[in-house]
Structure 1
Amino acid sequence: MTIEERIAQAENLTPTELQLAHAVLDLGARLGSYTLEELARATSTSKASIQRLCKKLGLSGFKALKLEMGKIQATRPDPIATVDVNFPFAPGDAQRTIVANMSTLYETTVADTVKLLEPSELERAARLVSQAKSVEIYTGSHNVYPAQMFEERLLSAGKRAVCPLSGERMSRLALASDKTHAAIIISYSGLQASYRRIISVLREQGTPIILVGSQRARRALPSLDAYLMVSDRESLQHRITQFASHIAVQFVLDSLFCCVFARDYRKNMAFLQRSLPYTALRTR
């Protein structure tokens, strides 16, 4: 198991330890030149915090961590340049610099999410969605837009889907759900109390639940049926806006839709083609 896989699968990391783990990944091969004290200063943590992280990742200590980083760097292709996902541009940056930084932000966010997106979880989620009579998508804020796009894409393949926007509508849909439905919760942090209430109702109804969110959301909302993880480098508050989390959620939902469509490609393509005469743009 690589160090990246250890970090992705660790379920008991604190927010500080998670940030530290990502700082280690960002350092890459450069970690080999750091002492324990230097890494603690560079990451504004402590030697004890670094050692605790190593133990939680199943490593004997800091030397073992550097050894693991050396292994992945030896087989990794040319690295993508790093950018601060919370503040990807600075005052006075030229348009060319901003565009280049945003391109890097997209690349690093998608690459990060690919590492966290477990194939077995994606397959399980695709199966639950494919088998469901109806799919309900529960989310809010900026995640409404990729959620509504996912809803439309499911409908384009003949799959009934609903993305409620009000809390009242969410509650009623959850109460009307059952084991023949599938629910998707999209939450970067998993901290919203409203989602815990919805999940409680869905569990009572026997509805399978899929979470799209960060590792911290997975820890906050345990024992669901499938987890589709996104890059979690973005701060919950200290940021310009939700650049990285928005991109990551969109990527995961697009990947899920493609997996659902591919499970019954001919049937879904037939529905899509049958609907074209009704959805084509009218020129007259």
Structure 2
Amino acid sequence: MDIKGRISRATNLTPIEQQLAACVMELDDRLQGYTLKELASYANVSVPSVHRFCKKLGLEGFKQLKVELARSASQNARHANPVNIDFPFEAGDDPGTIFEHMASVYDTTLHDTQSLVNFTEMDRAALLLANADVIDIYTQSHNLYTAHMFCDRLLSIGKNVLCSENGERQIRRALASGPGHVALAISYSGLAPSLVQLLPLLKKRGVPIVYIGTPRGARINPGLDVYLHVSDRESLQNRLTQFASHIAVQYVLDVLFGCIFARTAGQSRAFWEESLPYTALPALRNPAGPSGAQPNHSQQ
């Protein structure tokens, strides 16, 4: 996560430090021309307050803050989006132009999402899911496609995971949840109608909830256990289709799967290897078969 993401999502700041954070974000590139004392004066805080603010962000001091802000500006300039995220192509565009524009949509969305995700939160999510007896995925609409793919990947390493499409079944899954269950809720906007019923039911049963969606979606649904943010540039209404939101959610789920596998590599790989004789394509299966019996060539 870049420095601006760390500042905007810092949860341990005092009111004075929050005031300082707002001034730093407001100054943006202009901060490079300020000294430590000038920043303190501009924000109406003390110099020690600036030092404490930097320490809470994991920085050595004011100089490193300026370096990180310059690096963030450089990265954002490289990933400046020249295309319309919601309508990346139009009448008359040739294949080469469409390829280039879609590459820009991918590049911008992946960069945004990486800068928004808190790595500590990602690690917490991976720990919860890795240790869960049962994982229930709650989502709807186009997010079901990526959710089912994530579900299949977890199954491939031996995790007990369910992803129901039917809203009534999702409610009953929530009602049947309890100790050992972990819920993964996916909603780009945070406005999915099902969340209004599902989240209180899961909380009441003490089920940890990992939420994947935009920062605004997270604010709409407070009090959950882990938040994994995704790029929020896509319009909720004025869009051709869900290119950016699909890319962002898929990216976070792929990374989350990788983090789960990294935590459970020995057990996960053993399950995967055990399943290969049963799940491989017929042409690729071991001639010995699952039972280990060699084919009889005497009658061939």
TM-score normalized by the length of structure 2: 0.75
1:67 lines up with 2:66 in the alignment: no
Could you say what secondary structure the match of 1:98 adopts? helix
Would you say how many aligned residue pairs link Structure 1 and Structure 2?
Answer: 240
| 2:199 aligned partner | 199
1:101 lines up with 2:64 in the alignment: no
Q: Is the 8 A contact 1:210 1:224 kept in 2?
A: yes
Give the direction of change, closer, same or farther, for the CA distance of 1:155–1:80 in structure 2 (3 Å limit).
same
Give the direction of change, closer, same or farther, for the CA distance of 1:84–1:268 in structure 2 (3 Å limit).
same
1:79 lines up with 2:62 in the alignment: no
Using the TM superposition, give the Cα deviation of residue 187 of structure 1 relative to its aligned residue in structure 2, in angstroms. Answer: 0.2
Give me the identity figure in percent.
45
How much is the aligned-residue C-alpha RMSD, in angstroms? 2.3
Give the direction of change, closer, same or farther, for the CA distance of 1:281–1:88 in structure 2 (3 Å limit).
same
Could you say what secondary structure the match of 2:210 adopts? strand
Q: Which amino acid aligns with 1:213?
A: G
Structure 2: how far apart are the matches of 1:86 and 1:68? 33
Structure 2: how far apart are the matches of 1:172 and 1:209? 16
Structure 1: how far apart are the matches of 2:229 and 2:80? 22
| 2:245 aligned partner | 245
| 1:133 aligned partner | 133
Paired residues for 1:97-246 under 5 Å:
97-246=97-246
Could you say what secondary structure the match of 2:130 adopts? helix
Structure 1: how far apart are the matches of 2:135 and 2:164? 11
Structure 1: how far apart are the matches of 2:221 and 2:88? 30
Could you say what secondary structure the match of 2:282 adopts? coil
Give the direction of change, closer, same or farther, for the CA distance of 1:61–1:9 in structure 2 (3 Å limit).
closer
Could you say what secondary structure the match of 2:142 adopts? helix
Using the TM superposition, give the Cα deviation of residue 264 of structure 1 relative to its aligned residue in structure 2, in angstroms. Answer: 1.5
Unaligned runs of 5+ in 2: 12-17, 34-65, 286-300
Structure 1: how far apart are the matches of 2:244 and 2:32? 24
| 1:281 aligned partner | 281
Q: Is the 8 A contact 2:4 2:69 kept in 1?
A: no
1:5 lines up with 2:1 in the alignment: no
From the CA coordinates, give the structure whose radius of gyration is larger: 2
Give the direction of change, closer, same or farther, for the CA distance of 1:156–1:111 in structure 2 (3 Å limit).
same
| 2:291 aligned partner | none
Q: Which amino acid aligns with 1:133?
A: D
Structure 2: how far apart are the matches of 1:69 and 1:166? 53
Could you say what secondary structure the match of 1:179 adopts? coil
Structure 2: how far apart are the matches of 1:60 and 1:111? 22
Moved more, 100-109 or 188-197: 188-197
Structure 2: how far apart are the matches of 1:230 and 1:69? 29
Give the direction of change, closer, same or farther, for the CA distance of 1:60–1:181 in structure 2 (3 Å limit).
closer
Give the direction of change, closer, same or farther, for the CA distance of 1:221–1:125 in structure 2 (3 Å limit).
same
Q: Is the 8 A contact 1:183 1:210 kept in 2?
A: yes
Q: Which amino acid aligns with 2:6?
A: E
Using the TM superposition, give the Cα deviation of residue 69 of structure 1 relative to its aligned residue in structure 2, in angstroms. Answer: 8.2
Using the TM superposition, give the Cα deviation of residue 238 of structure 1 relative to its aligned residue in structure 2, in angstroms. Answer: 0.6
Unaligned runs of 5+ in 1: 11-53
Structure 2: how far apart are the matches of 1:69 and 1:103? 32
Using the TM superposition, give the Cα deviation of residue 80 of structure 1 relative to its aligned residue in structure 2, in angstroms. Answer: 2.8
Give the direction of change, closer, same or farther, for the CA distance of 1:188–1:132 in structure 2 (3 Å limit).
same
TM-score normalized by the length of structure 1: 0.79
Q: Is the 8 A contact 1:179 1:208 kept in 2?
A: no
| 1:48 aligned partner | none
Could you say what secondary structure the match of 1:234 adopts? coil
Give the direction of change, closer, same or farther, for the CA distance of 1:280–1:109 in structure 2 (3 Å limit).
same
Asked which structure has the greater RCO (Cα within 8 Å, sep 6+), the reply is 1
Q: Which runs of 4+ in 1 moved over 6 A?
A: none
Deviations along 1:89-115, one digit per CA (max 9) or x if unpaired, are 122111101100101110110010000
Structure 1: how far apart are the matches of 2:25 and 2:147? 42
